[in-house]
Structure formats: C-alpha cells, structure tokens
Structure 1
C-alpha cells in the first residue's frame, strides 16, 4: 500500500542515485535542497501570520517552547540554544521539548515519539501558560508526541504553531497557526533530515529571528543584543559599535567597557553623548528598542 504522505514517497527522479559519480551525487543533493527554499517562500504568509500572533505574548514576558521528535526535535533544541548568544534572549524563555528527553539529542529513544501522553506530560511539566507560544515540528505531521504537546498547550491557553511537510497533516489542523512546508519526496526515500529538515530549520530561524527584530534585539540589521561570550564575539561587538556610530576601535571598546558589554547601550551612549546609566534608562523607556531611544534624544 502506498503511503499518502509525500515525504514518505519514492522520488521518481533519483532511482539511480547509488550509481552516480561523486560530483553528480553532490550536485543532485544540492539541487534537491533548492526545493526547501521554495517551500519556505510559499509558506511566507503563514509564517508572517504566526510571527504577528506570537509577538504580543512575548512582549508580555512569554516563552518560546519548541516540541518535536528526532530531527525535528533536534532542530528545535538548536534554535532554542542559539537565541541566548545571538540575542541575549534569556535561556529560561526558550524551552526545547524533545521526545525522549536530552538523551534523544544524540541517540534515538525507541517509542518516545509514538506517545501522545508523553507530549502532554512534557508540556505540563514545563508549566506552559497563556503567554507562551509552542512550536510543534514534525515532517510527517502525524507524530503522536507532537500532537500531544499541541493539545496540552492549547488547553493551557498558549498560542500553538505547527510546522509540517505534508498537506492535510493532522498537526496542521491541531494548531492555531499552521505552516505547511511542502517539500515533497526526499532524494533518499523517507530521509526527512534532508530537504524537509532544511525547510524546518529555515522556518525556525525565520520565526525566532523575526520575533527578535520585533522585540528590539536588532538595530537596522545589526545584532545589537549579541552576548559576547568569547573572543570572536567580543570582536564582533566592537565592530558593530563602530559600524553604527562611525567611531574608531578604541572609542568603541571604551564605550563597551562602560556599558558592561552591551552593544546597544554603547551605541546610544556614543550617539547621544550619554553616560551608560543614562543610555540604559532611555533604552528601558523604549522597551530596549535602540532606534526609538535614539529618536528620543533627551
């Protein structure tokens, strides 16, 4: 019997994949991945609607909760983990739930993704509430664990967003914001870590990054809430301040030192000739939005 899910069907174009020379094999993988980009582009209106629905809840202090199994769950863990160093987003406000727990990040946990009740339990254990958003991710769109997380999150009053790679998937019907990433059959039949996973990663990056822009974590297109936790990021912080203010390296470093490493505070200090505490108060007045603070010169 043929599985109706497009992600599980055999790709008709690559039936001789195992006979291709290495160069052609690489080209085939690269070409097929282009379909992931196209799927995300087609889903752009749904992605934008999800961002607009999620933004007010995060403004009120809510959390981004990710839920998935296997590759989809690991992509959620990755996106959650990267928000803190990239945008200084509090780690406790990015909560990844993966079927089977932390052990499942590195190895398969048999049966975990097949448990609807485990999804419900994990959401309740995370104390998901009305100001939170839950992003459920499953290529098949049928994973019981993720369906359980969506149901529990909706019952708790959270906003639910679903990413799935098959039209008509139950996951999409279970969420308030449904995002279909129709990537079709995989070049290696059923291996949804390929273009289905790529489309999921692009979409998660887009969702979280756009929300961070709306929340004032970006000035222009500068990553002004970067958390400088190593030498590379310290250098990046200096360059960001220089770019935004037109100052030299020494001036930028001095401002960053006085601003306790905060790029946006250093920018406001230099642009408005303020002390660090004055710049911080002005930023606080404008909910951390550097542009609004700069346009409100005291």
Structure 2
C-alpha cells in the first residue's frame, strides 16, 4: 500500500536546526498524541497512516496550528516497499531524520481463546506489530547513520511504543501479547547494536490508554481502575501521557540511557502486598 506524501505546511527541507520525526500510526489514538506533543516541542513530523486519510489530514492541520509542519505519508509498515517509501518521503520532505517513533499497531479483529485462535490473525498481527517495526527500524537506523556521517543530524533516536501486554498474559489475544513481547526484545537488540553509532533506543510501554481501540472495553476498565485499584494512579491514561514520555527522549533528557523501558501505565507494573 503506497501513496504519495502530502505536506500540510508545504514541501521541502525544514528550517535549519529544526528536527524531524517519523511517527508511524500517527493519525489516531496514541500516535496522534505523540505527533502533537512533538509538534509542541518544536519538531516537524511525518505522520504515517495506513488507511484513514481524513484523520491524518486533521492531525496535520493540528500540527500546523501549533506552528509545526506535517508531511502525511500513507504506508503499511508490514510491506517492505511501503517502509522504504516512508523513509524516502521523510528525508525528501525535511532533509533529515532525527527521530523514529515506531507506534503503528493493530488489535485482533476478534478476541479468540488461545485454544481456538487461528493463524490468519496471528500472521496479521505479527506482520504489522512486530515484523514491520523490526525492519523499519533497521532501515531508519541505516539512514540515521549515513546522515550522521554526512553531518546532517546529531544524536538521532528511536522510540518503540510497546504495551504492558509485553509481559501481561491475556489468553484471549495471545497473538497481540506475543507481538508486543517481541517488540520489547527488538528494543534491547537495537539499543545494543546502535550504541556505537550514538543512536539511543527506548521502549515506551503504555498501560491502559483511552483511545478508540480501548473504547469497546471502557466500562470494564472504568470499574477496574476507578473502583478496584487496577492501577495505583486511578485514572485512564491519555495519549498525551505517552506523547510527553516521547518528548522527554526526543529532547535528550535521557542521554545516558539506552534500551530503557519507560512505563507509562499509572503504576500497573508495580507489585504490591
């Protein structure tokens, strides 16, 4: 699935010194929150989307209202040609790539018990949620290394958005959990490999975030969070909570950390007695 990139604020290389980011799955939910947080922090952003062009265009307008520039690129991260198209569009639009935020992901179409789940859903989720990011990061890393050698960027970074499902077993969506666990190791692998090139890699691990993806289970989690204390911080997470964590990385507030897991989960990961 490829398509031409669209610049909301005009084509061409961004202003000198203004960093550029690619955010996959940037048109909705957590991705949108990340895009807007980066725009507020002074980034130009490539907003990747898979199908919802209208939502991507709306995010682009929001970036422009914040004084930034958005370049919209339709690409399916599970497809090799689309991954190359996305990185090519990013470098053509802004002349640099300072940050990749690998956020795109999908949930199972049907939550199926582990003993009944089929291969079609597994293949779809692994392709989009794990294989796609794994090889997109490879491509982005090569681009970042080349740009550093050419003196075009300094200290580029990669952020992988995973999930508490990387370590929390949900037996009615095993394919999703396996993919997220794979992303956690992907962050460790690339952090170890890219450190010599001055490229830090981080895993941001959201908990229960209020988006359209979690809409169908809102009533259940309202009760778990507000009444049963599922999370010590008794509220839903918001996309901007994740966006703020990404901005902390993007603005180099964690320069001596790589391979770090940043939990944005209201304390869900805590074990208490």
TM norm structure 1: 0.36
Could you say which structure has the higher strand fraction?
Answer: 2
Could you say which structure has the higher helix fraction?
Answer: 1
Q: Which is greater in Rg?
A: 1
